[in-house]
Structure 1
């Protein structure tokens, strides 16, 4: 059986030092049901798994109340920058960000790190509570600045030093040192969670006295200049996070510009300038699992870095459909049983999916290049299984053909991205080299004979098998033995058939990089094979219409289900809402990994509708409520190359310095490999190419270990 587990996103309500309450939104169950490989015995049991998930809206624990940020007080006399051992060189700063935190329990650290990780921006985290900061914290030995921007996890860096006693992690001299650095080195300051008062400095904001855990936030007149990706007129839902609506105050020497406001016009985010410094303050709490934190991150990173930084931030929507050309099982709602190999999509279904794809692209400009990836099995010993090479080319569902699905698939040769899913969907865990190769190269040949535009460097094995996640008996619950237990015969056959990018299972811990959310893995037993993880969905493999989808889902997660979670059986529309929440979090993370479904989900159960297109439309529709950034969809060969390049960059140790006098950036790669920079064109960078995404120039290039290059900054 295919066991398509899930990745759990932890759910928690965090009470942090009495400072604030931030809820972590967790997804609905993220599991898929599987289908048997044709060379194994089929089990009647559903394969599933169950994460910790949140029941509707979060609630405070009994007896617990929301606590405000402390309004600390202190002197306000500006002190000069402490003397440096070398003359300062304020025109040169490293392309790096400093996160200043307060104490080990500082909830803002995770939000700050996640925001920068999404874009791949290098950073240091400094807990200022033990020892504060010194000039050497901020200024390098040659007088250049160590950081292009500063993130404060909270505006006052306050923490509970003793029960009921709050203080700032920086003393007054430390604050002055920080501000003097920001002024001299033109480093912007971002405060992720700010109480609108006058301490430790005045942002020109005052508490409006309407603090709450939820707010509906809109762009102010100047907000689009920072949050350029926000949909004009849209609403940012701040949920499960304490927020302090503010009013503007007239402060000598301070110019404050609202960016985000609530329905009453009260300010929840603003930029301000004072004494040559640029600051941005948010008055609502952040957490990496919250929707609003994911949405504001793109604009905040671009503002903080002035649009020039190491790394890149793009968003993707990749959807794979497995088992094309093969029949699949169907869940019987009335009996709760599975009818084996009882449904294969028709020619009409295939043509309808193409129409649904075109309609989706037209309806949602952010998905203008969306394209399903069809993971096809070209062989089969039974009638109606695999591709029929004798079927004539046709674009008409009523074609007279030995296999109408094969006929119209020829017509759809460039409509989808076609990827080999092995010839007959065998498990690859124990096959010898010859049998492994016989499942791989012949399937590519079938695709070529059918005239399909195939991503020939990419491969999906049957059940994502051959990678050390298997049952020694061949069927039943699977165990993760690690990539070291992969089938080397299969890996060699994959390499010799031309595969370089192999789909892996994001739900299996050994098949993901725990240190890098956007990275794939070079296989340790065969580094020429690069693993690209995929996310499952709750459009189970054995459902073809909304009734079956809801029945199978509730049989697992509804009351009385095998893993009961919800307090009532969910309707299909409710399931789509939960599913699109999960997928939206993945999309906003900037990770390019695909979601996957199965061929039964392509059935046109009513005009213009299939489960696959319904799921995709629900995601894209929800995304479009908030953002105008395009969702990229890459062919699998390009996807594999991109994930591999992103992984190489994240591991490369790339560093950079920005000389604002000469308008140049000097880049050095410690380990060599691929790299990305934003805000710098390809001119002067080796083996480079540029793309304009969201109005920002993103350049990818390659460096050797220790290589140093200089490029111009417009």
Structure 2
């Protein structure tokens, strides 16, 4: 059983003093109004990947921030007027947190750094040093004095007890660093220990190579009435180690009180259920019966789940507490019964176990619903009429495929959600290069059939868009092929796609800039478990850790025969569970809820970007102003209330969600009562030695692998 060590920062006393109400300036009389602190983050960047990663995390959650780029000549000057002013007679801090590229990015004697120091001290505003050299000025010993500086690829870092009871309490302890390429230095770190006498709390540590001690990767330094989160390793927004720590970094700097929200999502759609999928021919290097084989080439050999495969899927779902979404074609069962004397044990088992799964209309018998396909040659092309105009599948056929499958589901007793649809191969939607536009008959058919959510392929059509009455829900393809039921077929086709012509492959990897060729063909015996499974697990887990709600899709063939999908699904679920505490479960949503999440977060981000959302905190009250009808997305400490109702839902040690505000006027949230942080500004300096004068931080090397995502593998 996982331990749940998370306690809200409001109970942490002296460890996280700044989590109370913003400190009133020392020169302000007690009768003066408490300051207002705007819920906005100041991100100061030098163009490096670390500040870009934190900005991306804020973007993803919908948290407002202001970016100041130090490399731009036209940037604003960071002075007292830029940071604070007065509104309606109340002092206002314009930013609730400050992110700097390192602990001192300005030259010695900088007025901008002095302004930031004064601002942070006055308003108890935390500072994040996104990636900095370890040195006494940030509470750490120089790494050359008994520490370590160098690559940390493949290192297993650990969250400390203070980190688990504080900002990183959503993690179970381990923070493994990626090591995806033996030829690329992907992560670099300065590991050392706090200097004697420093008020420094390590949150994440890693073993120092060649030593028995551990060094700090992330920690909090309290000095001179200020709080800094010191990060001493290089990263980009895509790397697993940052994705695991990003939530805690933002929780720490916003004191768990911010606009925006995030969850970790995972949903898996299984396409072509009740139907059969054509099989890859390892000799012909194509799929007989499908459009990649010339007409008449080879003999089709379909792959279809058996009753035993269905029983296994239902048992797997129950054992993992995870619901698969079955995208089904009822016509597949009708055809099977016609060919087998009325018998279809697999369909009978699926219907009997219907409550173990969710069900999505995938059309009656899976035809291509875009242009009429001319398959007389490979690749296929759109058929045209005598005038050269593209011929499209008719409105009547699309209606039949949607409504016919719906009627079949009703007769079978499947609990179908009528507003969801995935067409076969996402057809009807535009498909380059053959079909640059949607089938014009698709939108009116969707509207007439009451479709609200339409599946799309994220690799081709990632953005949510309106098609008739429906909004698209992009789905991530998993690189386990629809035409493979056995490991040998999967590896053979993988080698065909991802090896050069000189190695016996198709050479596609040489032609497509987005695809990386394998160094050599995968071994037939070990290539699947040794390369494909770890790679696909890492890619899918990366989507999960980035807070991407879009579902992943596989095919029923992958649950049949060798059941090749399960190692990847197990890998994602098991690795996630091993990394996260019980208070941060995977969120497994149906397609309609995923679509709504994508819609709502897009609307929220647009409003934030356009400046239509403002929020501020005065004492224990947060006030949010947003356009009427727009649900407010926010993350707050546990115990926050909206009126007489608890705000949001618990997740990762905080409470968060989207809540509809009043029809007009601001929304008010009441934070749980807390100490006023009386020992923040005045006692911090007394408890620690006076800091050394600010000097520009030393150069922090960034390995080539962290300036962009390290290629995860052949698909790029």
Superposition map of 1:68-87 within 5 A: none
Match for 2:196 among 250, 269, 274?
250
- Conservation of the 8 A alpha-carbon contact between 1:206 and 1:248: no
Partner residue of 2:577?
624
Superposition map of 1:141-152 within 5 A: 141-142=86-87, 143-152=91-100
Distance 1:504 1:488 in 2: 16
Partner residue of 1:427?
368
Question: What SS does structure 1 have at the residue aligned with 2:604?
Answer: helix
Question: What SS does structure 1 have at the residue aligned with 2:193?
Answer: strand
Instruction: Report whether the alignment pairs 1:572 with 2:513.
Output: no
Distance 1:572 1:350 in 2: 23
Partner residue of 1:441?
403
Partner residue of 1:643?
598
Shift of 1:89: 6.6
Partner residue of 2:160?
220
- Conservation of the 8 A alpha-carbon contact between 2:303 and 2:560: no
Partner residue of 1:306?
255
Show CA shifts across 1:582-623 (max 9, x none): 111111110100111111111042xxxx22222201222233
Question: What SS does structure 2 have at the residue aligned with 1:352?
Answer: helix
Distance 1:652 1:441 in 2: 38
Partner residue of 1:160?
none
Partner residue of 1:700?
658
Which stretch of the first structure deviates more once superposed, 533-542 or 562-571? 562-571
The 1:303/1:546 distance shift into structure 2, 3 A limit, reads: same
Partner residue of 1:112?
54
Show CA shifts across 1:613-647 (max 9, x none): 22201222233343333111112222222222222
Shift of 1:426: 2.3
Shift of 1:236: 4.6
The 1:582/1:381 distance shift into structure 2, 3 A limit, reads: closer
Instruction: Report whether the alignment pairs 1:713 with 2:671.
Output: yes
Distance 1:405 1:535 in 2: 27
Bigger helix fraction: 2
Instruction: Report whether the alignment pairs 1:408 with 2:349.
Output: yes
Shift of 1:345: 1.5
Partner residue of 2:694?
none
Show CA shifts across 1:196-250 (max 9, x none): 124xx43344324521121432223322122112223564558712210112212
Superposition map of 1:302-381 within 5 A: 302-340=251-289, 342-359=302-319, 361=320, 368=321, 370-379=322-331
The 1:464/1:88 distance shift into structure 2, 3 A limit, reads: farther
Which stretch of the first structure deviates more once superposed, 123-132 or 185-194? 123-132
The 1:141/1:496 distance shift into structure 2, 3 A limit, reads: farther
The 1:702/1:409 distance shift into structure 2, 3 A limit, reads: same
- Conservation of the 8 A alpha-carbon contact between 1:447 and 1:454: yes
Distance 1:676 1:96 in 2: 14
The 1:612/1:303 distance shift into structure 2, 3 A limit, reads: same
- Which 5+ residue runs of structure 1 have no aligned equivalent? 1-80, 158-167, 362-367, 392-399, 471-476, 514-520
Distance 1:649 1:688 in 2: 21
Shift of 1:262: 1.8
Which stretch of the first structure deviates more once superposed, 698-707 or 585-594? 698-707
Superposition map of 1:91-110 within 5 A: 91-102=35-46, 105-110=47-52
Distance 2:616 2:176 in 1: 36
Question: What SS does structure 2 have at the residue aligned with 1:428?
Answer: coil
Question: What SS does structure 2 have at the residue aligned with 1:530?
Answer: strand
Distance 1:209 1:90 in 2: 44
The 1:568/1:452 distance shift into structure 2, 3 A limit, reads: same
- Conservation of the 8 A alpha-carbon contact between 1:132 and 1:171: no
The 1:620/1:522 distance shift into structure 2, 3 A limit, reads: same
Higher relative contact order structure (alpha carbons within 8 Å, sequence separation ≥ 6): 2
What is the aligned-residue RMSD (CA, Å)? 3.0
Match for 1:655 among 613, 621, 633?
613
The 1:457/1:260 distance shift into structure 2, 3 A limit, reads: same
- Conservation of the 8 A alpha-carbon contact between 1:512 and 1:533: yes
For normalisation by structure 2, the TM-score amounts to 0.74
Which stretch of the first structure deviates more once superposed, 638-647 or 403-412? 638-647
Partner residue of 2:485?
544
- Conservation of the 8 A alpha-carbon contact between 1:401 and 1:407: no
Question: What SS does structure 2 have at the residue aligned with 1:329?
Answer: coil
Question: What SS does structure 1 have at the residue aligned with 2:157?
Answer: strand
Superposition map of 1:374-523 within 5 A: 374-379=326-331, 383-384=335-336, 402-429=343-370, 430-469=392-431, 478-479=434-435, 481=436, 485-508=437-460, 511-513=461-463, 521-523=464-466
Partner residue of 1:582?
539
The 1:458/1:656 distance shift into structure 2, 3 A limit, reads: same
Partner residue of 2:622?
665
The 1:637/1:690 distance shift into structure 2, 3 A limit, reads: same
- Conservation of the 8 A alpha-carbon contact between 1:374 and 1:417: yes
Partner residue of 1:66?
none
Distance 2:174 2:44 in 1: 34
Distance 1:639 1:92 in 2: 36
Partner residue of 2:380?
none
Question: What SS does structure 2 have at the residue aligned with 1:624?
Answer: helix
Match for 1:206 among 142, 145, 148?
142
Shift of 1:704: 7.7
Distance 2:549 2:558 in 1: 22
Question: What SS does structure 2 have at the residue aligned with 1:316?
Answer: coil
- Which 5+ residue runs of structure 2 have no aligned equivalent? 1-24, 180-184, 208-212, 290-299, 371-391, 510-516, 673-716
Match for 1:691 among 631, 642, 649?
649
Question: What SS does structure 1 have at the residue aligned with 2:656?
Answer: strand
Instruction: Report whether the alignment pairs 1:532 with 2:485.
Output: no
Shift of 1:651: 2.1
Partner residue of 2:375?
none
Aligned length: 571
Question: What SS does structure 2 have at the residue aligned with 1:262?
Answer: strand
Distance 2:271 2:108 in 1: 55
Partner residue of 1:554?
495
Shift of 1:195: 0.8
Instruction: Report whether the alignment pairs 1:139 with 2:84.
Output: yes
Shift of 1:110: 1.8
The 1:530/1:682 distance shift into structure 2, 3 A limit, reads: farther
Partner residue of 2:220?
271
Shift of 1:383: 2.7
Distance 1:170 1:451 in 2: 74
The 1:418/1:598 distance shift into structure 2, 3 A limit, reads: same
Question: What SS does structure 1 have at the residue aligned with 2:616?
Answer: strand
